Amino acid sequence: MNTNNYCVIMAGGIGSRFWPMSKTSHPKQFIDILGTGQTLIQQTYSRLKKICPEENIYIVTNEMYEDLIIQQLAGITKEQIICEPSRKNTAPCIAYANYKIAEKNPNANIVVAPADHLILKEDEFVKVVNMALAFTENNDCLVTLGITPSRPDTGYGYIQFDTNASANGEIKKVKTFTEKPDLELAKQFVESGEFCWNSGMFIWSLKSINKAFETLLPTMDGIFKEGVGLYNTPAEKEFINKSYSVCKNISIDYGIMEKSNNVHVISADIGWSDLGTWGSIYTHLDHDDQQNAVVGDNVMLYDSEKNIINVPKDKLVVLQGLDDFIVVDTNEVLMVCKKQDEQKIKQFVNDIKLSKDAKYY
């Protein structure tokens, strides 16, 4: 295994769309949301251990989740957990990780991946990422992992690539990025054969991504560059607390990927889902004869179909007459919501924050 390969797992999000399972104190990446026996971050960590040495995996997270990571990832050390004092989106967290890694290995070749994605075809994922790592090791470029679209989905961003400009037959030059389109535009994208979904996973050399920060986000780069010599020392925490207080809140997509002229994409079928909504979870669970997806060992259903039900393993739950609902019971909270209205869950959480105890959100 190449010791220059590093992986950065982004694990600082709250996952409010998965309330009430996902709460600020225990967000979705730390939950076995599919009932597989592993949490999402455990699955991600296990997958990335096939790509780089275990000691080269770093977790960027909010400082309040450090203990959760220690509990869930047996092979991780505190030195590999990069604690952000506040949430400032993906560009600062990646810049911070870059400077941490640069102190250890300036020749690093890095994979960046969210902690909460589902990848069913892991062997294909490993193959594709290794192909991208081989490319970024020898080329000054930024590679994003695209997903071959299976339908005109309006919930994902799209990447357009140059079908004629191929670096090695599979890694292609990016032409445009498009935020979540409407259905008609999504249909045109898929039919053209020139677009893939944006997975939010990246592969690059440390030298290439640092050059991109210097060019496109120079103020942010300057903030983190001031800490050279302090990273991986006791003085790091105080420096980072000050740095984050003045750091811009911006995504890596908007700050760098959409503005850079050396971005490539590799489009792959890896059985991917970003598990962004309860509806996306529904599609990845087994269904009974009435198309109900149930997580829980003691659920009895009558005259009910097309529901997603997630309840404590041993709790007896009896439901009658429900059609196309989300039912989630965490003992502290019971939520019953129409599947078609799941976008309202964020509003539920906002309302609860105004009137209820913090233990509920």
Number of domains present in the structure of the chain: 2
Q: What is the pLDDT of residues 247-298, one digit of tens each?
A: 999 999 999 999 999 999 999 999 998 888 898 889 889 999 999 999 999 9
Same domain, 216 and 163: yes
pTM score, whole prediction: 0.90
Q: Is the pLDDT of residue 165 over 80?
A: no
Domain final residue pick, 255, 273, 291:
273
Which CATH number goes with the domain that contains 178? Answer: 3.90.550.10
Residue 18 parent element (H or E): none
Name the domain boundary from 273, 294, 320. Answer: 273
Q: How far is CA 134 from CA 122, 138, 156, 257, in A?
A: 18, 7, 27, 20
Do 283 and 253 fall within a single domain?
Answer: no
Question: Which is nearest to 274 in space by CA: 44, 12, 82?
Answer: 44
Cα 314 to its chain centre, rounded Å, is 30
Please write the tens of the pLDDT for every residue from 35-59: 889 999 999 999 999 999 999 999 9
Identify residue 138 by its one-letter amino acid code: N
In this prediction, what percent of the chain has a pLDDT beyond 70? 99
For residues 66 and 61, give the distance between their C-alpha atoms in angstroms, rounded to a whole number.
Answer: 7
* Parallel/antiparallel/unpaired status of strands 142-147 and 195-205: antiparallel
Same domain, 184 and 263: yes
Please state, in angstroms and rounded to a whole number, the distance separating the CA atoms of residues 156 and 350. Answer: 24
Confidence at residue 77, expressed as pLDDT on a 0 to 100 scale: 95
Judge if 53 and 147 occupy the same domain. Answer: yes
Listed residue (129, 147, 102) closest to 48, CA to CA = 129
Whole-number pLDDT of residue 161: 92
Q: Which domain covers residue 135, as residue numbers?
A: 5-273
CA 198 to centroid of chain Cα atoms: 11
Q: Is the pLDDT of residue 175 over 70?
A: yes
Residues 127 and 175 in one domain: yes
Give the span between the Cα atoms of 306 and 326, in whole angstroms: 9
Same domain, 39 and 180: yes
Confidence of residue 167 (pLDDT cuts 50, 70, 90): low
Mapped onto helix, strand or coil, the DSSP state of residue 297 is: coil
Determine the pLDDT at residue 166.
65
CA dihedral 316, 318, 323, 329 (to 10 degrees): -40
Tens of pLDDT, residues 232-247: 999 999 999 999 999 9
Instruction: Find residue 161's DSSP bridge partners.
Output: 174
Q: Mean of the pLDDT values across residues 97-124?
A: 96
Q: Do 39 and 72 belong together in one domain?
A: yes
- Residue 4, pLDDT above cutoff 90: yes
Residue 196: strand, helix, or coil: strand
Share of the chain above pLDDT 90, in %: 83
Residues 348 and 205 in one domain: no
With a CB cutoff of 8 Å and minimum separation 6, the contacts of 310 are 21, 33, 295, 296, 327, 328, 329
In this predicted structure, what is the pLDDT of residue 10? 97
Residues 29 and 89 in one domain: yes
Q: What is the pLDDT of residue 14?
A: 87
Domain end point (choices 218, 251, 273)? 273
Q: In terms of domains, do 143 and 243 share one?
A: yes
| Non-local CB neighbours of 286 within 8 Å, separated by 6+ positions | 293
Taking all residues of the chain, what is their mean pLDDT, rounded to a whole number? 93
Question: Do 168 and 214 belong to one domain?
Answer: yes
C-alpha 227 chain-centroid distance: 27
Quick one: 66 and 136 in the same domain?
Answer: yes
